[in-house]
Structure 1
Amino acid sequence: MNEIGEVSGQSSRRTIDIVHASLTRRRQAEKRFRLYGLASIVLGLCFVALLFGSIIARGYTAFQQTFIGLDVYFDPELIDPEGRRDPATLMEGDYDRLLKNTLSSMFPDVTARQEKRALYRLLSSAASYDLRDQVLANPELIGKSARVWVPADDDVDMLVKGQLQRTGAEGERRIKDYQVAWIDKLAGEGRIKKSFNAAFFTSGDSREPELAGIWGAVTGSLFTLLVTLSLSLPIGMAAAIYLEEFAPRNRWIDLIEVNINNLAAVPSIVFGLLGLAVFINFFGLPRSSPLVGGLVLSLMTLPVIIIAGRSALKAVPPSVREAALGVGASPMQTVFHHVLPLAIPGMMTGAIIGMARALGESAPLLMIGMVAFIVDIPRSVLEPATVLPVQIYLWADSPERAFVERTSAAIIVLLVFLILMNGLAVYIRKRFERRW
């Protein structure tokens, strides 16, 4: 008996030892798995921080613009020879000659024709228009001298910001040695300053980097998203409600559900080809317009909104429906008076995420012509326009060095919009979500 007890005790101890060893190995494996997961998250955050840091480092300088201060004599012979202060006459004044005369008086040693052209190129092509606007706003300047600040050329702007080389082989630089000397002289006299680049947010596109802005693209994006939201939100919510609450269960409904799920994974450029073939070639809608862009993006976001809407409706407990039906409510009243109010936060979250995806799309809009160079600000959904992602694509393909910083600055603006929209979706979900 004693021998049997001893054997049984030894067997129990061996079993316990095996179990403890197994538990130790499992705990160590679980700890390693957690460390692997934490390392993956940290690595991912590092890559995101590196990406955002590089974009911000390249683009933050675009929010400032270099200006040159000139003591301009507003010669009446050049801008108002008749002396009547007529706005039509002032509009036609030779303001470009005023600027050239001012620069020539500041640098009298510059006499060669090539150097004079290089001297005049220190100023932006928009400097004369700024001068004209100042005279139209204050005609009392005519016949007087005043210091005015006009935008510098993009190469001067890049040099002042330290993004162009000042040394090295002169033939490999966009700025010549004598231009660097003139800029240094102006800086030493306090005639160069950097100010907030308001034109970047208020102007349309331009071939000149110092004049290019994002307002035209932002307006086009707003019009396009307005069309997208007006179509996809009501249609998507109605489809989700019908499929989840009222549709009979048969093969046709199953086929529709499979196709909706498949459409959510279709590459966005396919929707652009569809919009080109149907909306432009077949229906004849205006090319490059926010109306066509909104229709294409509506087709792209509809599956996302429908799937998110159905998920939100499924999350409502069946007891809510049963209670409403139990007190005599009709199926329609049950859905619209009880189920839908509880599902609205989740449905709106899905709609906002769909709109954020539409805001960042460029491939389908390239197919319908929204890649065109458009200077004017669109005033309706029927006028030609572009959108912010396409504007970024156009600037990224430009050879001028100044467009590099404007490309990164436009990306920063786009990321801010996307973060705000996703933040709004998170807030709505947290604020109105019901947990069951």
Structure 2
Amino acid sequence: MTDVSFDTMPAAAAPVRRDIGLKARYRAERRFRIYGLMAISVGLVFLAIMLASIVLKGHTAFWQTSVTLPITFDEKVIDPQGERATDANVLIKANYPKLAENALIAKLGIDPQDKAAVRKLKGFLSESSRVQLRNIVIADPAVIGTTRDVDILASANIDSAFKGQIDLGVDEARRKVSDQQVSWMNQLKADGVMAEHFNTGLFTFGASSRPETSGMGVAIIGSFFMMAIVLLLALPIGVAASIYLEEFARKNRFTDLIEVNINNLAAVPSIVFGLLGLAVFVNFLGMPRSASIVGGLVLTLMTLPTIIIATRAALAAVPPSIRAAALGLGASRMQMVFHHILPLAAPGILTGTIIGLARALGETAPLLLIGMVAFVADYPATPFDPATALPVQIYMWANEAERAFVERMSGAIIILLVFLMAMNITAIVLRRRFERRW
């Protein structure tokens, strides 16, 4: 009887087919790596283009052009009738820009009777000289009749021309800076009295219709108030809710419904929280519009789901053996949670809180709906005073027509990105510094 073999494949064919399959898998793996590197590279290229565009447009915002002039506080201009002893309003209503104009005319050697030259000179210096010189006189009335060197800000157009942002090669009629003003600018630069200085006003000034006197002072304070409110409310409420859901709540349909809704709230668009804040805090409770307290409450509602999810994940990461050991030694559930579980989960909770605050700091849409887009020039003293926020200030500058506001907008974006990067780097460092691997 003949033996029949069921293995009809030649003996040498099997390893060849296995080699072919292995090589195909290696090729597929290499292609996948290449696709991943290409995707990362494309993302990094677009990120680099965006950052380069922002930096190139905004780095000049940290420098401001000013002219150092010997200002003569002429009594004939400030108080021609000699009434300041009986009427304090005289010093407030004086024509202070005239003092700066006279000093500039003398510095440039212009004939005061040349009306055309004097008219062109009016757009050379910033109108903020009125407030600047008035504050000097009011702080020390004895300055009247003396001469002092004062740094006066240049106007926005002169500042842009001095920084090289205006093409002076085009026809004079097509630019906002005349040839005569360019000549004066070069003369003052050669004399060493016109130069760029670090723009502290970008961090201290409030809102203004003039670009050279616009700053983020009010926005920085408003953002600080809102972040303080979010931290004081969202952190304890979020941690308490997480501890209850993770350690004490029974697992039933009600708690499952709560968990599902918390996860859904984390994905809700931020503008929905703005509508909620407008309806509840402003319309129903009557809280003031454009106030940091309302913005802080809205951002607290928006940040709570993020903190709850991060805290629950940190609590769940603690090994069950820690709980069993604490309970086995006679600790109550409260002692187990607050003496053992919570300290071990603190790094994860802190990381989630910082990430939530970073997200809240960059939000704009909910703040627009509660009126924080208002024009606010004075510093808020309390969270109940009118204020704005950094992202809202960027939004307002983006809608301005003046070229110099684009420079301010890009500078503010740089500052906001620095804050966000610092917060995220802090979260990463703290997580790596304090995290425990079980």
TM-score category (smaller protein): over 0.9
Give unmatched runs, 5+ long, in structure 2: none
CA distance in 1, matches of 2:200, 2:178: 29
**Structure-2 residue corresponding to 1:96:** 97
CA distance in 1, matches of 2:224, 2:77: 43
**Structure-2 residue corresponding to 1:421:** 423
**Which residue identity is paired with 2:272?**
V
Aligned 8 A contact 2:206 2:214 in 1: yes
Indicate yes or no: 2:172 matched with 1:170. Answer: yes
**Structure-2 residue corresponding to 1:263:** 265
**Structure-2 residue corresponding to 1:339:** 341
1:26-175 equivalences under 5 Å are: 26-79=25-78, 82=82, 88=88, 93-105=94-106, 106-109=108-111, 111=113, 113=115, 115-135=117-137, 141-175=143-177
**Which residue identity is paired with 1:377?**
Y
Following superposition, the deviation at residue 131 of structure 1 comes to: 2.8
**Structure-2 residue corresponding to 1:307:** 309
Aligned 8 A contact 1:204 1:214 in 2: yes
Indicate yes or no: 2:279 matched with 1:277. Answer: yes
CA distance change for structure 1 residues 24 and 130 in 2, over 3 Å: closer, same or farther? Answer: same
**Structure-2 residue corresponding to 1:18:** 17
Q: Which one is further off, 283-292 or 88-97? A: 88-97
**Which residue identity is paired with 2:70?**
D
Q: Which one is further off, 173-182 or 143-152? A: 143-152
1:142-197 Cα offsets, whole Å, 9 max, x none, are 43444332110000000001111213233321112222222222223222100011
**Structure-2 residue corresponding to 1:430:** 432
Aligned 8 A contact 2:74 2:144 in 1: yes
CA RMSD of aligned residues (A): 2.5
Aligned 8 A contact 1:79 1:93 in 2: yes
**Structure-2 residue corresponding to 1:358:** 360
**Structure-2 residue corresponding to 1:369:** 371
CA distance in 2, matches of 1:99, 1:209: 19
Aligned 8 A contact 1:66 1:157 in 2: yes
Aligned 8 A contact 1:374 1:384 in 2: yes
1:378-389 equivalences under 5 Å are: 378-389=380-391
Following superposition, the deviation at residue 113 of structure 1 comes to: 4.1
**Which residue identity is paired with 2:207?**
D
CA distance change for structure 1 residues 79 and 86 in 2, over 3 Å: closer, same or farther? Answer: farther
**Matched residue of 1:285: which SS?**
coil
Following superposition, the deviation at residue 335 of structure 1 comes to: 1.4
Aligned 8 A contact 1:75 1:143 in 2: yes
Following superposition, the deviation at residue 238 of structure 1 comes to: 0.6
Aligned 8 A contact 1:87 1:136 in 2: no
CA distance change for structure 1 residues 286 and 144 in 2, over 3 Å: closer, same or farther? Answer: closer
Aligned 8 A contact 1:103 1:120 in 2: no
**Structure-1 residue corresponding to 2:212:** 210
TM-score (normalised: structure 2): 0.92
1:182-216 Cα offsets, whole Å, 9 max, x none, are 22222232221000111111111111100011010
Aligned 8 A contact 2:208 2:377 in 1: yes
Q: Which one is further off, 126-135 or 14-23? A: 126-135
Aligned 8 A contact 2:66 2:195 in 1: yes
1:270-317 Cα offsets, whole Å, 9 max, x none, are 110111111111111111111111111111111111111111111111
**Structure-1 residue corresponding to 2:393:** 391
TM-score (normalised: structure 1): 0.93
Aligned 8 A contact 1:305 1:351 in 2: yes
Aligned 8 A contact 2:218 2:387 in 1: yes
Aligned 8 A contact 2:271 2:366 in 1: yes
**Which residue identity is paired with 1:37?**
G
Give unmatched runs, 5+ long, in structure 1: none
